[in-house]
Each structure stands twice: as C-alpha cells, then as structure tokens.
Amino acid sequence: GENKIERTSKSNLNFNYRECNLECKSVIILEATLLLKKGNKEEIELKIKENIKIRETKQPLYELNAGSIFKNPPGYYAGELVEKVGAKGLSRGKAEVSLKHANFIINNGGALAGDILYLVEEIEKRVKKNFGIKLEREIEILGEP
C-alpha cells in the first residue's frame, strides 16, 4: 500500500495481447520509453490517416464508450458473435450496444454501471447459449454497480 514512484522494465509487467500480469494491474504507468523504427515522415503520416479512417468507419470513436468489451475468442470476432445473437442495438437505460460495432457499448449520456453490466451479462448468456463460447471480458469491473 505505500505510494511511491519507481522505475521498472517491460519484462516485469509482462504485457501480452490485451492484458498484463497482476503487477501491471497494481500500478499506474506515468511515463514510458518507446522504441520506434525510422521511416519516411510522409508515408508514416499517410498510414496513420488511413488507420484512423478505417477505425472511424468501423468503431464508435466519437461516442462515449469503454472500448472493446470482449476479447476475440480463437477463430472468431467477438463483435460478429454479438451481432449474430441479435444484441446489436440492444439497450438498457442510457447504455446501448453500438450499431456501428457490436463489441462496443456506448453511453448515450447518463448510463449507469448496472445498465452496462446487464448488457455485458446478457451478451455473454446469448453467445454461450447459441455458440457454446464463453466470451472473455476485455474490460475489468471495479467495485459494485
């Protein structure tokens, strides 16, 4: 429980695809040093713009959301499974499964944590019932809704 600032290396935090070990979850990263490759400035800027355009067409970037809700199960896309069980557009209170990408839950202003958690659990039930797949949450629930 002591609050202190210390240096560590990435090997101590064990970063993997969309997760890190417990030590990572108990710290707040204030600063990071990144190793980048050199390249042509114009090409890099063009690539960044292309990536942003793709994300704009596929994800609700300009709506309040917590990012992807579920990790992709091996061989599947979580958003596709959510869509196939009819949860796209499902809502409760001010929380709604995004019409743009079903693996995002958007806050239409004043959504309650309980409403979001209800949608998450409803999606989990539907996917398990229809496909026999247990979705793994990408988000972490802190406290009680």
6-58 confidence digits (pLDDT tens):
888 777 777 776 666 655 566 778 888 888 889 999 999 999 999 999 999 99
Is residue 53 included in any domain, yes or no?
A: no
Query: Does residue 34 form part of some domain?
Result: no
How does the average pLDDT of the chain come out, rounded?
90
**What are the pLDDT digits (tens) for 100-117?**
999 999 999 999 999 999
Q: Tell me, what's the pLDDT at 135?
A: 98
Q: Which residue has the higher pLDDT, 33 or 83?
A: 83
Domain count, the chain: 1
105: domain CATH number?
3.90.78.10
Domain encompassing residue 80: 63-137
Q: Would you name the residues annotated as active-site residues?
A: 18, 68, 138
**Does residue 12 form part of some domain?**
no
Cβ partners under 8 Å of residue 82, min gap 6: 70, 88, 97, 102, 103, 123, 127
Instruction: Report the chain's terminal Cα–Cα distance, integer Å.
Output: 25
